[in-house]
């Protein structure tokens, strides 16, 4: 039987954590100097959102933020475990912090080094940090996020703390966020994943699916709207199963409709949708609700039925294509993106050709492609490879070449059209250029003076590149 009782962290527990925040804040005030925190985030939007919560807690403790670890009193890496290269980067960067800490200590200054996130929820990684990275003071997993204030307090008192209990997570509320700036607010609607795709570490490091209550989500959407955010991105590893664990919950399409009712919010996006759970109701809702962006990220992973079965994806290429057809029939201008894994164990060159065929058939606007990375503890880590590394890289390059051509062609079709662009800020390289996104999520750079952030403006597209569009304010 399904567990119908989602685990929410109690109000009493969150109250206790807020008391730790107040305690640290009082110590900061007594010290009479604003401490600086450096927070670096790896991985997906879920991790970015977690970092916004941690930064919110730090801010409430009296911390300010800096851009360089050298300047910080508190350094935190929020890590990702999805592929090996993400992990290698963290270990490399952690190694470099040893010198920073030593230099600080020579100046009689202390720096606290902390690591959290998905990597820390793997026992072998936490063990390695414990024994080989002695300069790390605090390690906590995704499930311990809500007790960060208590953990930091224990470190300040002189402890070296490892909190990586695998408690299958919990949902906590009522904590302040320090969000990235307007116009886009990321709002988690659920945590964890039940799908166990055979290559993927996420269900092991994030636990089972837990939905937030619709009330809390809608309160948060109203809150960000009142603060000037114009766009919300609803986050979950598989948003289509939102509410399955709630007794009286709304379905995902119903939740979307409620979010669209919130005044001030102009655009609604969501990530990610597992193809097996895309319902007709969702497609209808997307077509009917004007605020839902004409964009869908629909990870296909492979075009070969044999590989899809080995991956435990629970759909065939044909079923996937029929979903794409339905979506396009309902929303003709939909911008489609996907994720692809190249070199999954057992994938042959013939299987790979089938993936290329899917790319040619669907013509995605953009793809996110990855070479398979063995994740300890997942079923695919024990499967046999067919292709050599060289063959996998050759296939990967061929795929990018094909897709770049498609992406460019797709973008060129926008030349001469007028797009509604939500402005995000001045371009980093040219202050006279603004950057923003179309409803389909495409980046547009355009010349504009005195154009505020968070405005929807009409931009005429004058030029197309593979990854972005260029334009000018439409007369």
Beta carbon of residue 334, minimum distance to ligand F3S (angstroms, whole number): 24
372 near ligand SAH, rule: CB under 6 A: yes
Beta carbon of residue 273, minimum distance to ligand SAH (angstroms, whole number): 8
- Tell which one of 74, 148, 199, 446 touches ligand SAH (CB under 6 A): 199
Binding mask 38-77 for ligand F3S (x = CB under 6 A): -----xx-xx------------------------------
Among candidates 395, 383, 392, which has minimal Cα distance to 311?
383
Pairing of strands 456-464, 433-437: unpaired
CA distance 46 to 57: 17
Residue 321 CB neighbours (<10 A): 16
Look up residue 52 and give its two tokens. Answer: 């916004």
What length is written for the chain?
475
210 near ligand SAH, rule: CB under 6 A: no
The vertex-156 CA angle with 154 and 160, nearest 5°, equals: 60
Binding site for ligand SF4 (CB under 6 A): 193, 195-197, 200, 202-203, 237-238, 274
The answer to whether the CB of 221 falls within 8 A of the CB of 232 is yes
Three-state secondary structure readout of 300-338? CECCCHHHHHHCCCCCCHHHHHHHHHHHHHHCCCCEEEE
Give the CA distances from residue 96 to residues 44, 69, 101, 344, 411, in Å, rounded to whole numbers and listed in that order. Answer: 24, 10, 9, 33, 41
375 interface partner picked from ligand SAH, ligand F3S, ligand SF4, none, CB below 5 to 8 A per type: ligand SAH
446 interface partner picked from ligand SAH, ligand SF4, ligand F3S, none, CB below 5 to 8 A per type: none
- Tell which one of 138, 190, 202, 268 touches ligand F3S (CB under 6 A): 202
203 interface partner picked from ligand SF4, ligand SAH, ligand F3S, none, CB below 5 to 8 A per type: ligand SF4
83 near ligand SAH, rule: CB under 6 A: yes
Residue 431, SS3 per DSSP: coil
80 near ligand F3S, rule: CB under 6 A: yes
47 interface partner picked from ligand SAH, ligand SF4, ligand F3S, none, CB below 5 to 8 A per type: ligand F3S
# residues near ligand SAH by CB under 6 A: 17
* Spacing of C-alpha 284 from chain mean position: 26
Beta carbon of residue 310, minimum distance to ligand SF4 (angstroms, whole number): 13
196 interface partner picked from ligand SF4, ligand SAH, ligand F3S, none, CB below 5 to 8 A per type: ligand SF4
Among candidates 81, 28, 96, which has minimal Cα distance to 59?
28
CA distance 233 to 184: 7
Give the CA distances from residue 36 to residues 18, 53, 70, in Å, rounded to whole numbers and listed in that order. Answer: 20, 17, 10
373 interface partner picked from ligand SAH, ligand SF4, ligand F3S, none, CB below 5 to 8 A per type: ligand SAH
327 near ligand F3S, rule: CB under 6 A: no
Binding mask 349-368 for ligand SAH (x = CB under 6 A): --------------------
242 near ligand SAH, rule: CB under 6 A: no
Continuous segment of H or E residues that includes residue 55: helix 45-61
The answer to whether the CB of 454 falls within 8 A of the CB of 183 is yes
DSSP for 196-244 reads: --TT--HHHHH-S-EEPPHHHHHHHHHHHHHTT--EEEEE-TTGGGTTT
Binding mask 304-343 for ligand SAH (x = CB under 6 A): -----------------------------------x-x--
Q: For binding to ligand SAH (CB under 6 A), which residues are involved?
A: 82-83, 199-200, 202, 237-238, 272, 274, 299, 301, 339, 341, 370, 372-373, 375
Q: For binding to ligand F3S (CB under 6 A), which residues are involved?
A: 43-44, 46-47, 80-82, 118, 201-202, 205-206
């Amino acid at each position: 039987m399904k567990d119908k009782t989602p685990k929410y962290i109690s109000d009493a527990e969150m109250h206790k954590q807020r008391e730790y925040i107040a305690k640290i804040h009082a110590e900061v005030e007594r010290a009479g100097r604003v401490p600086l925190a450096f927070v670096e985030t790896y991985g997906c939007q879920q991790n970015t959102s977690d970092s916004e919560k941690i930064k919110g807690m730090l801010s409430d403790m009296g911390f300010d933020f800096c851009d360089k670890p050298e300047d910080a009193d508190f350094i935190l890496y929020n890590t990702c475990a999805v592929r090996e290269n993400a992990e290698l980067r963290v270990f490399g960067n952690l190694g470099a912090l040893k010198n920073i800490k030593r230099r600080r200590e020579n100046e009689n200054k202390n720096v606290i080094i902390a690591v959290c996130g998905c990597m820390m929820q793997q026992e072998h990684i936490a063990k390695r940090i414990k024994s080989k990275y002695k300069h790390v003071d605090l390690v906590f997993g995704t499930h311990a996020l809500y007790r960060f204030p208590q953990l930091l307090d224990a470190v300040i008192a002189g402890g070296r703390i490892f909190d990586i209990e695998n408690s299958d997570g919990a949902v906590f509320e009522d904590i302040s966020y320090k969000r990235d700036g307007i116009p886009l607010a990321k709002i988690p609607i659920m945590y964890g994943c039940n799908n166990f795709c055979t290559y993927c570490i996420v269900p092991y490091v994030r636990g089972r699916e837990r939905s937030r209550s619709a009330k809390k989500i809608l309160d948060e959407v109203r809150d960000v709207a009142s603060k000037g955010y114009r766009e919300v991105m609803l986050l979950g590893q598989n948003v289509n199963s939102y509410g399955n664990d709630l007794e009286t919950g709304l379905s995902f399409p119903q939740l979307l409709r409620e979010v669209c009712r919130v005044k001030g919010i102009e655009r609604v996006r969501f990530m990610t949708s597992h193809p097996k759970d895309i319902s007709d109701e969702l497609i209808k809702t997307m077509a009917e609700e004007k605020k839902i962006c004409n964009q869908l990220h629909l990870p296909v992973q492979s075009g070969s039925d044999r590989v899809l079965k080995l991956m435990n994806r629970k759909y065939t290429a044909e079923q996937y294509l029929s979903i794409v057809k339905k979506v396009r029939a309902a929303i003709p201008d939909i911008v489609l993106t996907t994720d692809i894994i190249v070199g999954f164990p057992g994938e042959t060159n013939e299987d790979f050709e089938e993936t290329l065929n899917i790319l040619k058939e669907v013509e995605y606007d953009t793809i996110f492609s990855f070479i398979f990375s063995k994740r300890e503890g997942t079923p695919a880590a024990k499967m046999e490879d067919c292709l050599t590394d060289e063959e996998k890289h050759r296939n990967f390059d061929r795929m990018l070449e094909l897709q770049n051509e498609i992406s460019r062609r797709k973008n060129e079709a926008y030349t001469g059209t007028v797009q509604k662009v939500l402005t995000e800020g001045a371009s980093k390289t040219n202050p006279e250029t603004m950057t923003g996104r179309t409803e389909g999520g495409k980046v547009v750079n355009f010349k504009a003076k005195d154009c505020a952030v968070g405005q929807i403006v009409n931009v005429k597209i004058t030029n197309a590149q593979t990854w972005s569009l260029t334009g000018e304010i439409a007369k």
